[in-house]
């Protein structure tokens, strides 16, 4: 495993919910990342963010790690869930709430 | 660099022959699209895999020439 794969592997297993995004939760730098943060905020679950703009190695590496070409990317307990469109579809269908419940991640 | 809607549709249909593809140019600038892709071959596939199939069809253009593609996928009713 390359260094960057190893780093990503550690990040996604260290936190229950990780969002790889452009910018920070307070200052998202892209509409898609902003939408992803809004969904997680709305559900009131604790989440960790990784700003890929601050880390070119992760920015490229995460695309290969997930086989997914765009940012943001959501991980729950080490499992890749999808990007912002999937998050929105799942949220609207109640599936995201269900996933967090199944993974025993409590909302506020 | 922007992509034409017809080119996006062609790439998807070439890789997923049973796909019904609808492309919408959201901003009228040839750079912000929405694609709806419905295919029988998606049946039983998790949503994330369905999206991955479409991204694979676009062969690396997604995130490069193609900045913004709002994607939704599904199976025929």
Contact A90 B60 (CB under 8 A): no
Q: Which residues contact A47 (CB under 8 A, 6 or more apart)?
A: A15, A16, A17, A18, A19, A25, A40
pLDDT at A1: 63
pLDDT of residue B4: 87
Rounded alpha-carbon distances, angstroms, from residue B50 to A62, B21, B66: 19, 13, 18
Question: Which candidate in B71, B72, B74, B75 is best for mutational testing of the A interface (most A CBs within 10 A)?
Answer: B71
Q: Which residue of A has its CA nearest to B52?
A: A68
Output the pTM of the full model.
0.86
The CATH number covering residue A27 comes to 3.40.30.10
> What pLDDT score was predicted for residue A104?
85
Please, which residues have CB within 8 angstroms of residue A39's CB and are 6 or more apart in sequence? A84, A87, A88, A91, A96
Contact yes or no for A85/B70 (Cβ under 8 A): yes
Whole-number pLDDT of residue A68: 92
pLDDT of residue A47: 97
Domain around A78: 3-102
Using omega within 30 degrees of 0 as the cis cutoff, is the peptide bond preceding B67 cis? no
Q: Which of B48, B62, B72 sits opposite A70 (nearest CB)?
A: B62
**Reported confidence tier of residue B2, pLDDT bands at 50, 70, 90:** low
Give the strand pairing for B32-38 and B20-25: antiparallel
| Chain B residue numbers touching A80 (CB-CB < 8 A) | 48
Domain-embedded: residue A107: no
B49 close to A (CB below 8 A): no
State the Cα torsion A47-B44-A102-B55 to the nearest 10°: 0
Using only C-alpha atoms, chain B has a radius of gyration, in whole angstroms, of: 12
Q: Which pLDDT score, from 0 to 100, does residue B3 have?
A: 76
Q: How many domains does chain A have?
A: 1
DSSP states of A14-39: HSSEEEEESB-SSSBSSHHHHHHHHH
Does the residue A71 lie in any domain? Answer: yes
Asked whether the predicted pLDDT for residue B1 surpasses 60, the reply is no
pLDDT at A28: 96
The ipTM is 0.72
Low pLDDT (below 70) residues in chain A: 1, 107-108
Mutating which of A62, A69, A84, A98 best tests the B interface, going by the most B Cβ atoms within 10 A? A69
Q: What is the pLDDT of residue B30?
A: 76
Domains contained in chain B, CATH given:
5-74 (3.30.300.90)
């Amino acid at each position: 495993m390359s260094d960057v794969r190893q780093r990503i592997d550690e990040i996604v297993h260290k936190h229950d919910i990780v969002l790889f995004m452009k910018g920070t939760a307070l200052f998202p730098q892209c509409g898609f990342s902003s939408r992803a943060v809004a969904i997680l905020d709305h559900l009131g679950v604790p989440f960790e963010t990784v700003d890929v703009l601050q880390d070119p190695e992760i920015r490229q590496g995460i695309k290969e790690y997930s086989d997914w070409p765009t940012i943001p990317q959501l991980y729950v307990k080490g499992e890749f869930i999808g990007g912002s469109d999937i998050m929105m579809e799942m949220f609207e269908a109640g599936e995201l709430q269900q996933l967090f419940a199944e993974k025993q991640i409590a909302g506020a | 660099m922007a992509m034409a809607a017809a080119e996006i549709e062609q790439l998807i249909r070439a890789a997923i022959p049973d796909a019904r593809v609808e492309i919408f140019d959201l901003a009228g600038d040839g750079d912000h699209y929405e694609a709806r892709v419905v295919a029988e071959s998606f049946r039983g596939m998790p949503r994330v895999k369905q999206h991955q199939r479409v991204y694979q069809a676009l062969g690396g253009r997604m995130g490069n020439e193609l900045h913004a593609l709002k994607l939704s996928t599904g199976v025929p009713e």
